[in-house]
Amino acid sequence: MERKVNQADFNEVVLENIVEFDMEEAEAIDSAVSQLEAQGVNLQNVIFDKEVIHGVDEISKFHKLYSNVEVIDDEEIEAFLASLDSASTLADKDTKYKLYAGRMDVHSIVINVLKCKMEEPTLVERILRNLTTIVSGYPDLVDESTISFIINLFNKYLSDDCIMLSTANLILKSLTKHENNKQNFFTNEKSRPILKTLIETEKYQLVKIGCDLITCLCQDDDIRVEISAAHTRATSLAEDFLSQCYTKLKSQHDVPLTNAIIRAVTSMSVTNQLVSNLYELDPEFKILIELFNDFRKEVDILHNVTKLLVALSGNDVCKSAMGATYPFGG
């Protein structure tokens, strides 16, 4: 059975090599690596950086300074933000550092401070950007209570586009590749109004991230298997957003937004009935033909429209109509 050691265990071996065997730092690290690997220890998530080993890196500094602080005074907030900037930059270096930041509870410290500073929009936005960096990807550092807090924060700032965008981006990064977080967000009674707010606005960045959230929630390798949680989310979201998103494709000019909308529509087109609904909305595929004509030089859009057509062709009536429609077959 493969053995693993944590960062603290590795640090202890290195420091022992320095103190007990009078090794230089680089030699002590190399010796620790060789020694542990010879014992069959997996060092995949161990950091070999001397600052981390001595506990003087930016993540460790942040933890030591703020792990036991409940409230950051106004005169100390700039120092906190500077330390947070440095810690999140280091955490973003690679997965090892992201794991290290997680073990140091950086995210918990940041969330606690954010709760205390919720009335200060300038601080909220800056803290949100760093928190997004820290919780993105692996490991999953977000639990149900955190999802609920982020949702409440979004609803508090419905008149502030920048904070809405930052909060929605934090939600998106928290959900990506994390099924439990997707389900916790989806089952929260306030999540649907958030998506509605984003999709129904005329501000393209908010619409785009709303579409990205829908796509993320519907994403699953087995989406067409009806017992799939993603399939359930897709069919439910389609009731409110499928026709609305498809209609938004009319007369679009922004490439990233158009791609996001197409992906969202495709992700929700998972049943024969839902495809039939789209066909009834646009039986001559005028919207899709318009996209082909308007974006003929945009490879990504053409690729995404093609994927949508593949999804629609699962419906026999739709497939037959495509065969008789220029430019699809007629």
pLDDT single digits (tens) 112-155: 999 999 999 999 999 999 999 999 998 899 999 999 999 999 99
Q: Do residues 77 and 28 touch, judged by C-beta distance below 8 A?
A: no
Above 70 in pLDDT, residue 206? yes
- Measured distance CA(306)–CA(292) in Å, rounded: 10
Provide the residue ranges of all domains of the chain, joining segments of one domain with +: 1-54, 57-141, 150-330
Above 80 in pLDDT, residue 68? yes
- Measured distance CA(48)–CA(198) in Å, rounded: 43
Beta strand segments in the chain, E = 3-4, 41-42
Above 50 in pLDDT, residue 222? no
Region 71-80: mean pLDDT is 94
Above 60 in pLDDT, residue 225? no
Please enumerate in sequence order all residues whose Cβ is within 8 A of that of 31, keeping only pairs 6 or more positions apart, or say none: 17, 21, 23
Average pLDDT, the chain: 93
What would the pLDDT profile of 146-200 be if each residue is shown by its tens digit? 999 999 999 999 999 999 999 999 999 999 989 999 999 999 999 999 999 999 9
Region 30-56: mean pLDDT is 95
Region 46-59: mean pLDDT is 96
Res 329: pLDDT: 56
Above 50 in pLDDT, residue 202? yes
Cis peptide before 283 (omega within 30 of 0): no
What would the pLDDT profile of 251-284 be if each residue is shown by its tens digit? 899 999 999 999 999 999 999 999 999 999 999 9
Please enumerate in sequence order all residues whose Cβ is within 8 A of that of 317, keeping only pairs 6 or more positions apart, or say none: 276, 279
What would the pLDDT profile of 280-315 be if each residue is shown by its tens digit? 999 999 999 999 999 999 999 999 999 999 999 989
Res 70: pLDDT: 82
328 vs 190: which has the higher pLDDT: 190
Res 228: pLDDT: 79
Q: Which CATH architecture has domain 150-330?
A: Alpha Horseshoe (1.25)
Region 27-53: mean pLDDT is 95
